[in-house]
Structure 1
Amino acid sequence: MKSPALALAAITVASVAPTTAVSAAPDARFLRALDRLDPKTRLEQICDLEAMRRMSQSKSAGARVDRAKSDVIVPPQHLGNTLVAKGGAFRAGGKWYQMSFTCKATPDHKTVLDFSYKTGAAIPPAKWASYGLWK
C-alpha cells in the first residue's frame, strides 16, 4: 500500500495538472507535497506531471491527458537525477495508453530540466486491473 504522502502527491498531481504552457511551474501545494516524499518518489511524481503536461499539448495523445504513471508495465530506472520509464502509461479520453520517457530533473527533484517521450498502443481494458489502472 502506498504511503499517505505518496497518495497526497498523486491526488495533487491529478488536481493541479495545468492546461497552460509546459513552462508553467507546479503550484505551491504540489511542491509542498513533494517535500514529504523520498527523492526517488519525488522524481517519479515530477516526471509524471511533466508527461501529463507535454502529452496534453501534443496532438499525439488525441485528448487531454489526465493521468500519467511511470511504473505501470515495467518499473522505471532511477539514474541519479534522471528517470527512464520504458513501461509507463497515460490516460486520455478515458482510455489508457502505453508510453515511455526519459526525464532529467534538478538535484532536488522539483524541476524538470529535459524531457522526451514516446506514446504507444492503447492498453486493452481487460489488462487495466492487472496493471493497477482504473476507469
Structure 2
Amino acid sequence: MKKSALVLIAMLLPATSVLAMDARFAASLKKLDPQTRLEQVCDLEAMSRIARDAKLYRPDRAKTDVLSHPLHAGHTVTGKGGAFRSKGRWYSFSFTCKGTPDHMKVLSFSYKIGEPIPESKWAALGLWR
C-alpha cells in the first residue's frame, strides 16, 4: 500500500478510532516497511499534538517528509522538513518522534512549528489546498 493511500485511510477514520488504533488501520500499517510505518504513526501524532497544544491550528493533514526527508535511527525519526495543513494553509514543522519497537505506536513526540509555506511552492512540494 502506498504511503499516500494509507494517509488517506487514516484521515477518513474518526479521531477516536485512530487513537484507539482501529483494527483496519493497524492491519494496513503492518503491511508497510518499518520506516514508513513509523513515519505514518508520527504523521498522525503530529496532527493530534498540534491540534491539542497549539489551539489556533486545526491540522487535518501532516507529512513528515515535505521539505526534506526525515532521519531514522532505530525506533526514532527526526526531521526538519515536515508540514501540516490547517484551515487551508500549510505550515512547516520540525519534530522528533520515538516509536515502539514494532513502530505501531508513538512513545514520545516533540515538535516546533515553523513558518507558513507560501502557496506558490505547494505544487512543487506535492501539497494541495
Q: Say yes or no: TM over 0.5.
A: yes
Unaligned runs of 5+ in 1: none
Change (3 A) 1:121 1:48: same
Per the alignment, residue 87 of structure 1 pairs with 81
Maintained 8 Å contact 1:76/1:86: yes
User: 1:57-76, aligned counterparts within 5 Å?
Assistant: 57-59=52-54, 62-76=56-70
The CA deviation string for residues 72-129 of structure 1, in whole angstroms up to 9 with x for no partner, is 0010001110010111000000100000110000110001001101101100000001
1:37 to 14, 32, 56: 32
Q: What TM-score results when the alignment is normalised by the length of structure 2?
A: 0.92
TM-superposed CA distance for 1:26, in Å, is 2.5
In structure 2, the residue corresponding to 1:67 is in which secondary structure?
strand
Matched, 1:131 2:125: yes
What is the DSSP-based 3-state SS (H/G/I as helix, E as strand, rest coil) of the residue aligned with 1:126? helix
Match runs of 1:94-109 below 5 Å: 94-109=88-103
Amino-acid identity (%): 52
- Report the equivalent of 1:7: 4
Q: Secondary structure at the match of 1:63?
A: coil
Aligned length: 128
1:5 CA displacement: 4.0
List gaps (5 residues or longer) in structure 2.
Answer: none
